[in-house]
Amino acid sequence: MTTWTERLHPTRLRKRAGGLLVDGFFNGIARAGKLHPQSRPSRHGLEVIEDIAYRATGDRAHLLDIWRPALRARDGQPLPTVLYIHGGGFRILSKNTHWIMALAFARRGWQVVSINYRLAPQHHYPAAIEDACDALVWLVSHAAEYQIDLNHLVFAGESAGGNLVTALALATSWRRPEPFAQRAFDTGVTARAVLPACGMLQVSDVQRVRRRKPQLTKFIEDRLTEVSEAYLGPPPHDDLTLADPLNFFESSAQPERPLPVFFAGVGTSDPLLDDTRRLQAALDARGVTCETRYYPKELHAFHALVMREQARKFWADQFAFLDRLGLSPK
């Protein structure tokens, strides 16, 4: 149990204040953005089915939204679908703060299944990836009901969500010992493509970022440490494979099913830049397609500010990648 003295320690207080600042910033942007008339799904011919339970727990963490083109949904045909998992350092934010991501895909004709999941530090690893696996199981079992085209399925997410979609790709390509990972594997379904934007693909050993970038600010170092400690919980840690999917991809373990192709975009001023570089190298070594795009001087999650030029370029590059794969809605 944490004592009052520990709670009032300057380092702890600094980390807490920084975390609240980040949380407030992103929640504020999300709320402000929803005031714009163009944020309304109906303006784009979209419909949104909100707060569907994918686990029968009664917990808001186990709800999802479905965004889809209204006219295409009415014709009864299967819809190419994105399973979207939001970021927020495993600690903050939700499907509601990430409505802009769902809107961006849905405007291009995709159906988007955007999920909540249990957050740290109340729920340590592997709670978040367990929820992601169970969301996939729900998606597969309700494919007919919601016109989900399992042959045109994409996993997408940013930051912590990039970690979770990469770990989900791992869990559907290798048979794992965790019961929740087995449930996902046993669906027989995996993504055709995985889109981990600016992913934190290794949660352990945050000092690797400091070793690569000695001039890292204390504010950023605090945020990375906070994420790692909150998600992983106190040591000792057992198997961190699904928290550190990048490390596993760098191993020699061969999958039982082929890994999907990847598209990974990241800003060159993102402290997590090296995770994307390592992902490219690891997948290259495996002979798996990974198209990586680097955006000069851009910060972490820059693509969420969709009005900016580099953000628009990111989205155009990502959609062009899906077009070339023949996955995009016709």
Q: Are 249 and 284 in contact (CB under 8 A)?
A: no
Q: Are 251 and 224 in contact (CB under 8 A)?
A: no
Marked catalytic residue, from 159, 228, 275, 303? 159
Marked catalytic residue, from 124, 152, 300, 303? 300
Mean predicted confidence (pLDDT) in 167-187 = 98
Give pTM, 2 decimals.
0.92
Instruction: Please report which confidence band the pLDDT of residue 178 belongs to, taking 50, 70 and 90 as the band edges.
Output: very high
- Cα angle value 288/255/134 (rounded, 5°): 100
Instruction: Please report which confidence band the pLDDT of residue 292 belongs to, taking 50, 70 and 90 as the band edges.
Output: very high
Domain extents for the chain?
7-324
Position 28 scores a pLDDT of: 64
- Average pLDDT for the chain: 92
The structure tokens listed for 98 are 């990430």
Q: Is 300 a catalytic residue?
A: yes
- Domain 7-324 has what CATH class? alpha beta
Coil vs helix vs strand at 315: helix
Q: Is 269 a catalytic residue?
A: no
- pLDDT (tens digit per residue) in 128-149: 999 999 999 999 999 999 999 9
- pLDDT (tens digit per residue) in 22-66: 666 566 666 666 656 677 999 999 999 999 999 999 999 999 999
| C-alpha dist (Å) from residue 201 to 21, 98, 163, 197 | 24, 20, 5, 10
Look at the block and give the residue holding tokens 């290259």.
284
Marked catalytic residue, from 65, 131, 244, 270? 270
Q: CB-hemisphere CA count at 13 Å for 268?
A: 6
Is residue 6 scored above 50 in pLDDT? no
Q: Is 159 a catalytic residue?
A: yes
